[in-house]
Amino acid sequence: MDPRIDIFETETMVRAVRANGIDVTYIRIPDEGHGWRKLKNRLFYFRRQAAVLENHLGMTPP
């Protein structure tokens, strides 16, 4: 539902990054637009972001 960026552009970029051997997580949230407006989606995103940082920085949650 993003009025600014066509989903095709995002999917093309994800395919290109993966084709270059880079691991990328692509999550499409169909009930959002360009930003995270709904609380449930913000919480989902922040949890995923924290997990990625913990994993790549070798951190463990308290």
The structural domains of the chain, with segments of one domain joined by +, span 7-57
The two tokens of residue 52 are 């990625």
Task: Please identify which residue in the block is written with the tokens 């997580």.
Answer: 25
pLDDT at 61: 64
pLDDT at res. 39: 96
pLDDT along the chain (62 residues), means of 10: 89 97 91 90 94 86 64
Give CA–CA dist 40/56, Å, rounded: 25
Residue 35: the pLDDT is 84
Q: What pLDDT shows up at residue 47?
A: 94
How far is C-alpha 1 from the geometric centre of its chain's CA atoms? 15
Distance CA 15, CA 53 (A): 22
* DSSP character at residue 29: -
